[in-house]
Structure 1
Amino acid sequence: MKKIISLCLIIVLLSIVFYSQVGKTHNVQVSIEESTKFSEEEINAAIAVVKRKFMGFRGCELTDLWYSESHSNQYSEDYLKYGNGSLNEDNDGNVIVLLSNFDVNSSGGDGSFEPNSTQSDWKWILVRDRKTDKWRVDDWGY
C-alpha cells in the first residue's frame, strides 16, 4: 500500500512540474473575423495547431489569438514572396497567418524572451500542401 501511495505522490508531483513547464493556453481569448478565403472550420483547425505548438513555449501564457483576413493576406503575400513560401511553392489558399499576444513569466520562458514581458502581434504562419490536408506551423515570430 505504501508503494502505491508513494507512486501516486510521485506521479502527482511530476504532473505539477510538467504542467508548470508548458506554455499555457487554457485562458486564451480567441477572435475570428469574417473570412471569404477560409471556412470557420479551417480557421479553427489552424487555431488548434497553434495552441498545441504554444505548449512548447515554457513559462509563457497565450492571452489572445486571432484571425484577421486583411492581416493574414498581407503576411501571407510576404511569406510567399520572401519567406519559406517562395521556396516551397505554397499557394495563397494554403497559407494562413494568425496573430497572438502572450505573457512571459519571471523566468523569461526558455530564456529567449524578456522576463515579465508581453509579446504582442506575434505571427503564426501555417501551411498545408492541399486544401484537404492538415495545417502545420511553418514559422512564427515578428
Structure 2
Amino acid sequence: MKKTIVVISVTIFIFLFMFNIQAGKTKNVQVSIEESIKFSEEEIHDALTVVKRKFKGYRGCELTELWYDENQSNKDAKDYLIYGNGSTNGIKEENVIVLLSNFDVNASGGDGSFEPNSTESNWKWILIRDDKNDKWSVDDWGY
C-alpha cells in the first residue's frame, strides 16, 4: 500500500513539474505603463494581471515585455470596434483596453503555432469588460 502511494505521489509530482516547465513564463516580464487619461492605474494593473494569467497557456514561451501605450491602445480599440468583435458585441470604447507585449518562443515553437527560437513583437492583447465595475477579460490577441 505504501509503495502504491509513493508511486502515485511521484507520478503526480512529475506531471506537475512538467506542466510548470511547459506553461508560459511571466516571472521576469518588464512592465511599462504610460500615464493614462482614460484608465486608472488600478484598471491598467488589473488588465496586466489578466494578460499574464492568459499567457500561462502559451506553452514554451516567455513573456519578456508587457506595456500600455494610451495612443496605441486608443487606435487599436477603435479598429477593434470597427473591424473586430467590437463591431458586433456592443462593447463601448471606454470598456476596451489594448496592451502590447513581446515574448520569446523556445526551440519547441511553443504549442507549434510559433517559429521555434523566435521573438514575437508588438503582440496585441484586446481586453473588454461590460462596464467600469466589471473585470477585464481577454477577447482577442495577436497582430
Task: Specify the alignment match of 2:67 in structure 1.
Answer: 66
TM-score normalized by the length of structure 1: 0.95
Runs of 4+ in 1 over 4 A off after TM superposition: none
SS at match of 1:111: coil
Task: Specify the alignment match of 1:39 in structure 2.
Answer: 40
Task: Specify the alignment match of 1:28 in structure 2.
Answer: 29
Question: Are 1:52 and 2:44 matched, yes or no?
Answer: no
Work out the CA distance in 2 between the residues paired with 1:75 and 1:21.
31
Q: What displacement does 1:66 show?
A: 0.4
Task: Specify the alignment match of 1:89 in structure 2.
Answer: 90
Q: What displacement does 1:21 show?
A: 1.6
Structure 1, residues 87-136: CA drift from partner, whole Å, max 9, x if none? 11211100000000000000001111000000000000000011101100
SS at match of 1:93: helix
Q: Structure 2 unaligned segments of length 5 or more: list them.
A: none
Work out the CA distance in 2 between the residues paired with 1:92 and 1:128.
10
Structure 1, residues 10-29: CA drift from partner, whole Å, max 9, x if none? 23211211111211111111
Task: Specify the alignment match of 1:117 in structure 2.
Answer: 118
Work out the CA distance in 2 between the residues paired with 1:3 and 1:108.
37
**Aligned AA for 2:131?**
R
**Aligned AA for 1:124?**
W
Task: Specify the alignment match of 1:104 in structure 2.
Answer: 105
Aligned length: 142
Task: Specify the alignment match of 2:20 in structure 1.
Answer: 19
Q: Give me the CA root mean square deviation.
A: 1.1
Work out the CA distance in 2 between the residues paired with 1:129 and 1:26.
29
TM-score normalized by the length of structure 2: 0.95
